[in-house]
Amino acid sequence: MEDITPIVDELLDSYQQHPDLTNMQAWRLPTRDCMNELTHKLESLLYPGLIDCVRDTSDLKYEIGNKLAEIRLTLTDLIKCCLEYAYHFPQNRMKLPDEAGHPYVVAYQIVNNFLRELPKIRTLLQADLRAAYHGDPAAKSYAEIILAYPGFRALTVYRLAHNLHIQGVPILPRMMSEYVHNRTGIDIHPGADIGPALFIDHGTGVVIGETTIIGSRVKIYQGVTLGALSIPDPDKNDCSKRHPTIEDDVTIYANSTILGGQTVVGARSVIGSNVWLTYSVPADTKVLFVQPDLRMKTV
């Protein structure tokens, strides 16, 4: 059998040469499996009886309280790990919480704030749910949307991750976003500012960037990108608005790309399929891709 010792030695040397690809220090980070399990528990808390099989409502108060206690314990530990990691790497571009103190104390306060916001998050999701139901004649019930619509699931996790992001939690909100991106094909940065009643129809390939602002009652189809123009030096543009603003009641059809932090799509506008847009349009505008010129084939 071939000796693997030389490979081990080379890997150890590589760890020394490329420390950015390792995390061998005393501070640990959340694992993907742990974060996935936490996200599932949060979804089951938002949609009892739909994500898990709750049948006995006589003990519902106890069940919810027990689940909340578990989530608080796990989430506090995960956020503490992320904070400790970030504090040891001051060269990063992460915006950390304003509160000073021991990472566990800061994490505990963040989690309490987060849990208190869950009823408000459910109110936003109720508006998203109704927008999906009224926006898609193929939807036969609210339960079908919650269980089977990728756009709604992506919004669910986004609204949870967004709350943690705006409180300054590093790393974890992005892990949550990638968890649902992997399952739905919809990539929503937790930093995006999204109003109520967003409907993402079909959803595959939708990308919504970090500084995007989306108003109320917006409808987005598959393949839409709300992205940034090129950034020459990210370290000098970390606070700049890089992604577009979409005002209320806008519809954006499939495979359209809207780029740039100064780009504003005015209220009630319609962006047709396959449009490439890098400038603002006023309210009540219809933007269409020019139809191809059809010509008869000559023999």
User: What pLDDT score was predicted for residue 290?
Assistant: 83
What's the chain look like in SS3?
Answer: CCCCHHHHHHHHHHHHHCHHHCCCCCCCCCCHHHHHHHHHHHHHHHCCCCCCCCCCHHHHHHHHHHHHHHHHHHHHHHHHHHHHHHHCCCCCCCCCCCCCCCHHHHHHHHHHHHHHCHHHHHHHHHHHHHHHHHHCCCCCCHHHHHHHCHHHHHHHHHHHHHHHHHCCCCCHHHHHHHHHHHHHCCEECCCCEECCCCEECCCCCCEECCCCEECCCCEECCCCEEECCCCCCHHHCCCCCCCCEECCCCEECCCCEEECCCCEECCCCEECCCCEECCCECCCCEECCCCCCCCCCCC
Tell me the CATH architecture of domain 26-185: Orthogonal Bundle (1.10)
Query: Residue ranges of the domains in the chain?
Result: 26-185, 192-289
Query: What pLDDT does residue 86 have?
Result: 86
pLDDT given at position 238? 60
Fold for 192-289, please state it: UDP N-Acetylglucosamine Acyltransferase; domain 1 (2.160.10)
pLDDT at 61 (0 to 100): 86
* pLDDT recorded at residue 54: 61
The pLDDT, as a whole number, for residue 299 is 67
pLDDT for the residue numbered 121: 98
Could you list the pLDDT tens digit for every one of the 299 residues in the chain?
A: 688 999 999 999 998 898 888 887 667 888 999 999 999 999 999 999 898 866 666 788 888 899 999 999 999 999 999 998 888 876 666 667 766 678 899 999 999 999 999 999 999 999 999 999 999 999 999 999 999 999 999 999 999 999 999 999 999 999 999 999 999 999 999 999 999 999 999 999 999 999 999 999 999 999 999 999 877 666 665 668 999 999 999 999 999 999 999 999 999 999 999 999 999 999 999 999 887 888 888 76
Question: What is the pTM (predicted TM-score) of this model?
Answer: 0.91
Q: Which pLDDT score is estimated for 141? A: 97
